[in-house]
Chains A and B, each alone.
Chain A
Amino acid sequence: MLEIQNLTVRFQLPQGTITALEGVNLTLRDGEKLCVVGESGSGKSVLMLAVLCLLPENACVSGSILLDGEDLLQKSQKDLTEIRGMKLSYVPQGSGNSLNPLLRLGFQVSESLVAHRRLPRRGADQRSIQLLQQFHLGDEEQLVRSYPHTLSGGMRQRALLALGIAPEAPYLVADEPTKGLDSDRVGLVVDCFNSLEGCSLLCVTHDLTFAQQVADRVAIIYAGQMIEYETAERFFGSPRHPYSKALLDAVPERGLNAIPGFSPGHEDYTDACRFYNRCPCRTAQCQTQPKDRWDGERMVKCIYGAP
């Protein structure tokens, strides 16, 4: 079980302190698939990096991130090295240099198996081929011997998925795994995630259609705060937060009604609800920030969210 308790992340910058994430509480149960949804800049990637303990040095983190009861934020680098290889695995974004340009793909896909599971090199290449075949990359035998720059963006994204699931770690963290993939290929990712048995998934995405197909539970992040935490079923049926409603209305299948306005910049945070300026249902009460309203396992941060 992964429990994030009261997680706040601030960055010390020369211009001042930026609060990227504020008081986030959420739980990822064993075997559950949680999608964290938000716009870019909302703080969802910061949440993911915090879980991976990869935040840059100028970040101040408070709160706790408990992985099976052990606080990752208190761990030494050495312990983290062990946890990461065996318990926590990561699928990075395909854009950018997520693969070492000088090493063959097969080597990189099964690298963790060689290092942690002491798989012999040749067996590892076999395993790489199997893993890649799952994502229909085509001509996998050839592919394991090629260098990353020969892959297209979509291929690289899928290769990274293969790499992420290779260690068969009980926790998988994925960063925008469908970015740059067409809908058929997104289907492959969905199949892959749904076939991961016993694996808990924390997936950061802005693709709600994808989230609907894999998630058991959804967390919505807006302007550094978690504003709704809900089972996928209920969320996609009747979202409670006005922002969630707006997000769902903006999905192409539901008519592409974009939300007017922009999310506030870090310098514009006030005491009011962060969604105030764009909210169609705002009232005078919203001038003070609403509390996280928990009701069992669901949460909404809005004055209208009474159970």
Chain B
Amino acid sequence: MKQRNLLQGRAAAVTGMVLLLLILLVAVFAPALAPYDPWAMGTPYLPPSSEHLLGTNDIGQDILSELIYGTRVSMFIGVCAALITTIIGTAVGVLAGYFGGIVDHILMAVTNVVIVVPSLPLTVVLVAYLQAGLWNIIIALCVTAWAGTARLIRAQVMQLRQQPFVQLERTLGMGNGYIMLVHILPNVSGIILTRGALSVASAMLSEASLSFLGLGALGQKSWGAILNNAFFRNGVVNNCWWWYYPPILCICVCVVAFMLIGSWDDRRSRGQNLLAM
């Protein structure tokens, strides 16, 4: 039974990775794949046809091309935000869990505050204050997102710290930095990878929400931005389904891909289950 769950987990993860690979290929080869320049204007409100597979928007830009180029923006923001989130979360979690005591108290106090702050409103406020550049959006997305990862990692590290092999390292006279890097980190890599993948998913969703609200990166055609256009530039009123359904679908596929990868129960995280026993 357990074996079967495991295989299913692996199948899901492989599916996720294949999806991700496809998405990445689209992002990398966007110029070759896109039939038109996404900024070039033409006849507005064209429904899908053989010429414009997904029609055009209110100023005649080809929606398929916009989507293909949008893959780059959305993925870049999602992956960068997740990377920063995961690095901060891991650092905070490992330090708090390993040292305990006063270090833990301080770091966890900060983490708990960050966790209770409602993240989307805060992000909205931040973006409104910062200029709406690409990196400012990424920073705003990271401000609260790391806390969950930090808590999970801290809990695991607190268990690991009690493990005989960590105690042994101390009696071997290994420094704290060395123990954390060589012995603790590999043992939480399962969580890091899983949380990292899920962070990409949630960062992409948040980015889409921000862009939809018109707070996205200026001049960047992310999927959320296309959606925003469709909403506020008469796409919905004119019933241009080809304008607003495709970006929603793209976001969904991407999020699902990362969530499937995040469900991966690899050898390392199983090692942790062994530890927990």
Chain A contact residues, CB within 8 Å of chain B: 52, 54, 57, 80-86, 88-90, 92-93, 96-103, 111-112, 115-116, 149, 163, 167, 173
Q: Using Cβ atoms and an 8 Å threshold, which residues of chain A touch B163?
A: 96-97
Cβ of B168 within 8 Å of any chain A Cβ, yes or no, is yes
Report how far A81 CA is from B171 CA in the complex, Å: 7
Interface pairs A-B: 8 shortest CB-CB: A85-B173, A84-B173, A90-B171, A98-B164, A112-B172, A102-B186, A100-B165, A97-B163
B172-A99 in contact (CB<8A):
no
Q: Using Cβ atoms and an 8 Å threshold, which residues of chain A touch B172?
A: 84-85, 89-90, 111-112, 115, 167
B173-A115 in contact (CB<8A):
yes
Chain B contact residues, CB within 8 Å of chain A: 100-101, 163-165, 167-175, 178, 182-183, 186-187, 268, 271, 274-275
A238 → chain B closest CB, angstroms: 36
Report how far A264 CA is from B62 CA in the complex, Å: 85
A67 → chain B closest CB, angstroms: 13
A and B contact pairs by CB, cutoff 8 A, 5 listed: A54-B167, A85-B173, A100-B183, A103-B186, A116-B173
A93-B173 in contact (CB<8A):
no
A102-B171 in contact (CB<8A):
no
A115-B178 in contact (CB<8A):
yes
Starting from the known contacts A97-B165, A115-B172, A116-B173, 7 additional A-B residue pairs (CB-CB under 8 Å) come to: A81-B173, A84-B172, A98-B165, A99-B168, A102-B187, A102-B268, A112-B173
Q: Using Cβ atoms and an 8 Å threshold, which residues of chain B touch A54?
A: 167, 170-171
B183 → chain A closest CB, angstroms: 5
Q: How many A-B residue pairs have CB under 8 A?
A: 73
Report how far A149 CA is from B272 CA in the complex, Å: 13
A82-B171 in contact (CB<8A):
no
A102 → chain B closest CB, angstroms: 5
Report how far A277 CA is from B250 CA in the complex, Å: 78
Q: Using Cβ atoms and an 8 Å threshold, which residues of chain B touch A83?
A: 173
A89-B171 in contact (CB<8A):
yes
Contacting residue for A52 out of B171, B178, B186, B268, CB 8 A: B171
- Find the B residue at minimum CB distance from A94: B164
Report how far A173 CA is from B170 CA in the complex, Å: 14
Q: Using Cβ atoms and an 8 Å threshold, which residues of chain A touch B168?
A: 90, 92, 98-99, 163
Report how far A162 CA is from B53 CA in the complex, Å: 69
Q: Using Cβ atoms and an 8 Å threshold, which residues of chain A touch B165?
A: 97-100
- Find the B residue at minimum CB distance from A148: B165
- Find the A residue at minimum CB distance from B186: A102
Instruction: Given the known inter-chain contacts A98-B165, A100-B183, A100-B187, please indicate yes or no for A85 contacting B174, CB distance below 8 A.
Output: yes
Q: Using Cβ atoms and an 8 Å threshold, which residues of chain A touch B274?
A: 101, 149
- Find the A residue at minimum CB distance from B274: A101
B124 → chain A closest CB, angstroms: 41
Q: Using Cβ atoms and an 8 Å threshold, which residues of chain A touch B171?
A: 52, 54, 84, 88-90, 92, 173
B78 → chain A closest CB, angstroms: 29
A150 → chain B closest CB, angstroms: 13
Instruction: Given the known inter-chain contacts A92-B167, A97-B275, A101-B274, please indicate yes or no for A82 contacting B187, CB distance below 8 A.
Output: no
B214 → chain A closest CB, angstroms: 47
Report how far A227 CA is from B173 CA in the complex, Å: 33
Q: Using Cβ atoms and an 8 Å threshold, which residues of chain A touch B178?
A: 115
Report how far A102 CA is from B274 CA in the complex, Å: 12
Q: Using Cβ atoms and an 8 Å threshold, which residues of chain A touch B182?
A: 103
Q: Using Cβ atoms and an 8 Å threshold, which residues of chain B touch A115?
A: 172-174, 178
A25 → chain B closest CB, angstroms: 24
A106 → chain B closest CB, angstroms: 14
Which of A57, A90, A98, A100 has the largest count of B CB atoms less than 10 A from its CB?
A100
- Find the B residue at minimum CB distance from A100: B165
Q: Using Cβ atoms and an 8 Å threshold, which residues of chain B touch A84?
A: 170-173
Instruction: Given the known inter-chain contacts A102-B186, A112-B172, please indicate yes or no for A96 contacting B275, CB distance below 8 A.
Output: no
